[in-house]
Amino acid sequence: MRKVALLLGGLLIGCALVGGAQDAMDLDTALGYFQNEAVMIEYSEAGRAVLEEIIEVFHAELGVTDALNELNEDDVMAFTVAMEDQLVVNRLSQAYYTLANAFLGGQAPDEEQTYLKGKHWGLKSLRMDATFLAIETGDVAEGEPKGFVAAVEQSTNLDGLYWGAANWLRVGEFNPLEAIFAAIPEKTEAMSLRCLELDDTHVSYGSYRALGAFWGGLPRLPGGTYRKNFNRSLGYFCKIVDEPTLCAECNDCPDFGPFDPAAAEYFENRMLFAKYYLKEKGYWEDIKRICEEVLAEPIGELYPLYNAISHETAQALLDEANEKLN
């Protein structure tokens, strides 16, 4: 099935390069690109073109026009979407994350704005649930839990939680201190923790990856809950990287059970470990070793986009490590 999906994607990408050689993409085709909890496109300009067309298809399905300001949370929340289109809303949030993360890195302001759109659609998906909205706004019986975090803790909308948090975390990286003062870490941590409760394997153990990067990437502050915490970072990463020697350094870390070898198939697990933990600690020898291991492994068919990106990331980190070590 995966090979069929990849072949189909390849054919569509090929046709997209020939002007007028294909009909407009329909919704089923657009949704069909989402396999293995990822977007099955190439890491290329052709792949980007397909992703942008997918977003256009989702807009058409939802009735989104240029009149809707997707950068404004209130405008997106007020936009009417039928409950039957919640899957499309979730996939739109994922598509925006993928576009920003894969193709817009360093392109200000497009990168941040694209994550912001993805965050708004993730929140839109969550708030399409009347129970979520009631708890968040406090429209509950006296004494019942209320507020955003309480609403998250009862949500079963795994994709809305995951992609909403993924986009929001990236938005927060553009101004970490502002994000902390706006209580974004508390909210995104709650979303990631709820994802772990619902399905900790989702997106190849993605919430462990997110939380490891979250605690390793926070600013070094003199006080407060949300500041850099290497033990918490390492605790989450050790679920998704096979590094028993490094993981033995963890002091009073949470135990999430043994490493699953399937996590190694998604190279970004190791790349975020290298970026948000090893680099922060100055462990350049380990970065060099891990990057060489990733570069020696084929991209494969499971994650053609993100494993290709991780190869690029690994080469850049390896070059940086070699400079530090020489």
Query: Tens digits of per-residue pLDDT, 190-224?
Result: 999 999 999 999 999 999 999 999 999 999 999 89
CA distance 219 to 227: 6
The share of the chain scoring above pLDDT 70, in percent, equals 93
- Residue 120 has which token pair? 């708004």
The chain-wide mean pLDDT, for the chain, equals 92
* More confident call, 127 vs 17: 127
Task: Report the pLDDT value the prediction gives residue 22, as an integer from 0 to 100.
Answer: 59
* φ/ψ (deg, to 5) at 138: 85, 15
Hey, which residues does 35 pair with through a beta bridge?
38
CA nearest to 210, candidates 168, 243, 258, 260: 168
String of DSSP letters for 82-108: -GGGHHHHHHHHHHHHHHHHHH-TT-T
| Neighbouring C-beta atoms of residue 2, cutoff 10 Å | 13
CA distance 1 to 71: 37
Q: What is the mean pLDDT of residues 283-292?
A: 98
Residue showing tokens 């850099």: 228
20 band by pLDDT with thresholds 50, 70 and 90: very low
Q: What is the pLDDT of residues 122-142, one digit of tens each?
A: 999 999 999 999 999 999 999
